[in-house]
Every structure is written in C-alpha cells, then in structure tokens.
Amino acid sequence: MALQGLRVLELAGLAPAPLCGLILADFGAQVVRVDRSPRAAVATDVQGRGKRSLALDLKRPLGPATLRRLCQKADVLIDPFRPGVLEKLGLGPDVLCQDNPKLIYARLTGFGHTGKYAKRAGHDINYIAVSGVLSKLGRKDENPYAPVNLLADFAGGGVMCAMGIIMALYERTTSGKGQVIDANMVEGTAYLSSFLWKSQNLGLWNRPRGENLLDSGAPFYETYKTADGKYMAVGALEPQFYEQLIRGLQLDSRKLPNQMSFSDWPEMKRMFADVFLKKTQAEWCEIFEDTDACVTPVLTFDNVASHPHNKERGSFLKNDQEEISPRPSPVFSRTPATPSFKRDPFIGEHTKEILLEYGFTKEEISNLSSLKVIEFNNPKANL
C-alpha cells in the first residue's frame, strides 16, 4: 500500500478532517482518531473506515502532555479546530515541530489561520460563499445554491489537505523535515475553481448566472425528466456529439437554431424537455447506448452500485455490515488501496493498544486511566 507504515494522528473533528484521515487510511496509513471521552460525545464521524480510536481528554492536566508525546512518534497530525485552539493547550506547531522536526502538522480550517474571518465559526456554505464559487452556482432567477457540502468540506477541504500532506511527505524524503500546512476551505475551494477564473476570456461566463454554457444555460448541458419520473444527463458540448444528441432525439438539426445561438437556448431547452418526457429512462438509455451523444442516466444511491458499468469496475464496495460506499480513488496498478471492511471504531476502542504501540508503559497507561485522562471502551465487554 502506498502509505504503508505512515503514522497519522487525526484529532476528531467534523466532516472535512475525517475525510482526509479516511483517504490516508484507505491507502495504508495507520490513522489514529483522537476522540474526546466516549461519555461526552456521540461518534459523529461517519468516515471512520480503517481508523482506530483513542479516547483522550485534552482538558485534563496530563491530556496535552499525552498528545504531545504521541506526536513525537507520529508522521502527521491533522488539526480540525479553529485557529488557536491547540496553541491554548500548548500543542501549537512551535512546540510539536520542535519536539519532532519530521512532523507534518496539517491544519484544516474554514477561513485559514490569519485574516478577518480566521476565528469565526462556519460551515461549507460559508466557505464556498467567501471563495466566490457559490456566486456561480444555481439556475437563472433562483438563489445561488450549495451542492450539498461537497465543494468546501471535501473537495476543497479534506482532499486538498490530504494532497498537501502527501506533497509534504514527498518533500520530506529529501529534506528530512516536516512542516506546517495551512489547508483552508475558502482557498481550497477557490483553487478548485481556477478553470472558472482562467476561462473568463473564453466567453464561457459572460452572461448572468444560469445562462452560460456549463451552469444550466445551455440546452445540451442539462438534465431532463423522463416519462417515468427519472432523469437523463446531457453533456453534448462538441458539435459532433451534439449532432448525435439531436439524432437520438429524432429532431432535425436543419430545422433547429444554431447550437450556440444563446438567445434560442430557452426555447431549445423546452423542446428537448418535451421530447425527453415521451420515453422512460431505460428507453433513452437504449437509444443512446454505444453513442457519443454524451447522454447518461442520472443514477441514484439505490441503483448506482448495481449499474452495469459501475458493477463491472467494482466502483462501490460493501463492508462486513452490508454498508455500501464508494471504493477509494484513484486505482493504483501495483499498490492499490486496501480499504477496511470492518465497522467504524467505537470511541476509545483502541486506547490501550495505541498507547502501548507509541511506547507508553502499562503503569503509565493505568495512571492516565485512573486520572480519567484516557478512557477504554471495549465493545466486547459492553455486549
């Protein structure tokens, strides 16, 4: 596995940092999620695949010292908190990176560690709003809309942070040194939108939101409802693919306006919508099968895993609890990801084994437990 042997400490946070930890775990890293007490919190991390959990109370006197000692033997620390939180605990980069100069200290925030908003609370929608990207999302005459919490939390947050960690690990192979990564979701999302910035002069975005080529303005880059209440996705941008779309819809392009006639797009969209409503999704799939019309069914979470294409590739996996989820991406030829099929860890399930691995003696562990700095949560004992 590509990240075999990498030791990662993921401080338990909300969605973005857990995805970063999940990616590292899927590709072989030994990810320890540092949770608060099993008593104090419900495990809200639904991205715990392949991780182990250590319950450590950082608010108790020996809590920070325990984490500090763990970091001395770790390769990566993922900090999911507001700026300044770990500094208050004496666990800022100046301390931990001095203890362990090889440590990669990855800080995943919403607004970054500096700037007017830095210490503000926020969530995905706030970050994509401040990044400028949200202003581009949404249909004509409707409010901008956030595509769930995929863009900032995950694409511009968790994935971008994981990429930063991998690049810092690569750099460390020559320098031998770690460093601090300021991964924040505003700039991560903005960075993802570089194409929107760089294509400003191509005439792709000259019109108001929802009237452009790729933002639901164009009739040939849109979704359409079918007779059975499902949807088809159409992405026939190039003329040669557009021609195949028109043929599949059994329309005559000679009687239609030019493909790029902006002013005719609303009427063309109405015409396409009427045609798509005449057949079921399965019938349209049959018509567009083996064509380059760029027309595909809009699959749902109920049928995506069993769709012939995804099934053939094994794009989704089912764990021991029969839960379906996407397999890790990308696919490696020689060192593929090895996602765990076990259930996610309970908070504190692995406290003892992790501390032993990181060099704590049984006596030290017993002392920390008696002081309630750490907690054990052995699910077998709970049965």
Ligand X SMILES: C[C@H](CCC[C@H](C)C(=O)SCCNC(=O)CCNC(=O)[C@H](O)C(C)(C)COP(=O)(O)OP(=O)(O)OC[C@H]1O[C@@H](n2cnc3c(N)ncnc32)[C@H](O)[C@@H]1OP(=O)(O)O)[C@H]1CC[C@H]2[C@@H]3[C@H](O)C[C@@H]4C[C@H](O)CC[C@]4(C)[C@H]3C[C@H](O)[C@]12C
Q: Which residue in this structure is represented by tokens 């991560």? A: 188
* Count of residues of this chain found to bind ligand X when the rule CB under 6 A is applied: 27
> Among 124, 215, 222, 344, which residue sits at the site for ligand X (rule: CB under 6 A)?
124
CB of 180 to ligand X, least distance (A): 15
Q: By rule CB under 6 A, what string of x and - marks binding of each residue 5-34 to ligand X?
A: ------x-xxxx-----------------x
For residues 339 and 144, what is the distance between their CA atoms, to the nearest angstrom?
A: 36
Q: Using the rule CB under 6 A, is 79 a contact of ligand X?
A: no
Best CA proximity match to 313, nearest among 301, 324, 297, 326: 326
For residues 285 and 232, what is the distance between their CA atoms, to the nearest angstrom?
A: 8
Count of CB atoms situated within 10 Å of the CB of 149: 19
Q: Give residues 319-348 in contact with ligand X (rule: CB under 6 A).
A: none
Best CA proximity match to 90, nearest among 111, 108, 104, 69: 69
Nearer Cβ to ligand X (88/278) = 88
- The window from 78-86, 228-236, 252-260, 317-325 that contacts ligand X (CB under 6 A) reads 78-86
- The window from 35-43, 189-197, 270-278, 314-322 that contacts ligand X (CB under 6 A) reads 35-43
> Among 9, 25, 28, 36, which residue sits at the site for ligand X (rule: CB under 6 A)?
36
18 residue type, one letter? P
Output the six-digit token pair for 275.
Answer: 């045609």
- The window from 95-103, 119-127, 264-272, 276-284 that contacts ligand X (CB under 6 A) reads 119-127
Q: Using the rule CB under 6 A, is 123 a contact of ligand X?
A: yes
How far does CA 13 lie from the centroid of its chain?
14
User: Taking a C-beta distance cutoff of 8 angstroms, is the pair 338, 331 a contact?
Assistant: no
CA distances from 371 to 56, 68, 136, 178 (A): 11, 17, 53, 33
Instruction: Give catalytic status of residue 123 as yes or no.
Output: yes
User: Taking a C-beta distance cutoff of 8 angstroms, is the pair 272, 224 a contact?
Assistant: yes
Containing 60, the helix (H) or strand (E) segment is none
CB of 237 to ligand X, least distance (A): 32
Q: Give residues 149-208 in contact with ligand X (rule: CB under 6 A).
A: 149, 153
Residue 330: is the preceding peptide bond cis (ω within 30°)?
A: yes
DSSP string, 263-284: GGHHHHHHHHHHHHTTS-HHHH
> Among 98, 121, 176, 380, which residue sits at the site for ligand X (rule: CB under 6 A)?
121
266 residue type, one letter? P
CB of 266 to ligand X, least distance (A): 34
> Among 7, 52, 82, 279, which residue sits at the site for ligand X (rule: CB under 6 A)?
82
Instruction: Give catalytic status of residue 320 as yes or no.
Output: no
Q: How far apart are the first and last CA of the chain?
A: 34
Q: Give residues 225-284 in contact with ligand X (rule: CB under 6 A).
A: none
Q: Using the rule CB under 6 A, is 41 a contact of ligand X?
A: yes
- The window from 81-89, 202-210, 255-263, 307-315 that contacts ligand X (CB under 6 A) reads 81-89
CB of 37 to ligand X, least distance (A): 7
Residues that bind ligand X (CB under 6 A): 11, 13-16, 34, 36, 41-42, 44, 56-59, 80-82, 85, 88, 109-110, 121-124, 149, 153
Catalytic site residues? 123, 153
